[in-house]
Structure 1
Amino acid sequence: MAIEHEAKILGIDPDTVERRIQEKGGHKLGECFMRRYVYDITPGDESKWIRLRDNGTGIRLAVKEITSDAIDGAQLELDTWPHIPPYLEIEAATKADVIRTAELLGYTESDLTGENTIKIYARHGIDLNAIPALRF
């Protein structure tokens, strides 16, 4: 499996970002309601978990250590989650490609974070692990 190079830009305005993506030659790939189920392998051990993800067109099971756009091979997701502001996730073949894509959209490398969803929720004072079911 290839290494995932991704970063997030927090607190974005989805309409503005989508417009910028299209102005830079990106194209909308679609929208989906993604269901995600996370299971502990060993209860209490946050270093390993299993994620089951259903994006409406396929189901993916991953062992881990919804609007999509694309620009020059980079995948962009405008993520909307309950109780936190929307964010942009950029995934590309290399770290340099992630940074270049962010800069193309008017962001700097310092705007990027590699934090996972649990840490993003914690920024807003929410312990995601304490929520038994997160409903959209």
Structure 2
Amino acid sequence: MKTEYEVRKLDVSFEKIIQKLNRVGAKKVGVYHQKRYVYDFIPAQKGRWIRLRSNGKVSTLTIKEVKSLHVDGTKELEIMVSDFEDTNEILAKLGYIPRTFQENFRIEYTLDGVNFDLDKWPMIPPHLEIEAKSEEDVLKAITLLGWSVDDVTTQDIDAVYSKIYGIDLDSIKMLKFNESENKFINNYESI
């Protein structure tokens, strides 16, 4: 499994982060409305799950495993799939029923091999995910944006929801944007 080196800067302003990213020379990759199904292993295993995700252009099937809440604590094995709904149907035939459906909005930037994903998820403030090929590259990116390691978290999105915002994602079958969140997103779709 591949190691993910990533951190999150929570509760950010889209506008301010976009200005920072433009100032340091990051290039915008795309704007995405992502949707995903999350499945438990059979039997369920704490810290491991299956994710089927589409950004509207590419769909992937991924095994995720959180080994620790450190910058290198998440492992993943991912493949591209040709069709989001057909893959969900195949998984259902194999006995995998989605635990939840989730959506989020993402504006993706890149600079020197580092991905900067400005994310808006339902019910919580926006955050910036910084992902790179090494811990050193993540730390450089944090510094480049004017922050220290104390300004970011290594918690995955489930932990952010539960530990930071007190929301149990396992109890939400359909995590979708409300009307006010959709208005916020509409402001950034054509940036």
Same fold (TM over 0.5): yes
The one-letter code sitting in structure 1 at the alignment partner of 2:173 is P
Q: Which has the larger radius of gyration?
A: 2
Q: Which residue of 2 aligns with 1:29?
A: 29
How far did 1:44 drift?
A: 4.7
Work out whether 1:113 is the aligned partner of 2:153. Answer: yes
| Structure 2 Cα separation of the partners of residues 104 and 21 of structure 1 | 10
Gaps (5+ residues) in structure 1? none
Q: Which residue of 2 aligns with 1:131?
A: 172
Contact 1:74 1:92 in 2 (8 A): yes
The one-letter code sitting in structure 2 at the alignment partner of 1:81 is W
> Which segment is superposed worse, 34-43 or 76-85?
34-43
Contact 1:50 1:63 in 2 (8 A): yes
| Structure 1 Cα separation of the partners of residues 158 and 53 of structure 2 | 16
| Structure 1 Cα separation of the partners of residues 18 and 120 of structure 2 | 13
Contact 1:30 1:67 in 2 (8 A): yes
Root-mean-square deviation (Å): 1.3
Identity %: 38
Gaps (5+ residues) in structure 2? 66-105, 178-191
The one-letter code sitting in structure 1 at the alignment partner of 2:167 is I
Runs of 4+ residues deviating >4 angstroms:
none
Higher relative strand content? 2
| Structure 1 Cα separation of the partners of residues 45 and 2 of structure 2 | 25
Q: Which residue of 1 aligns with 2:53?
A: 53
Give the aligned length: 136
Q: Which residue of 2 aligns with 1:85?
A: 125
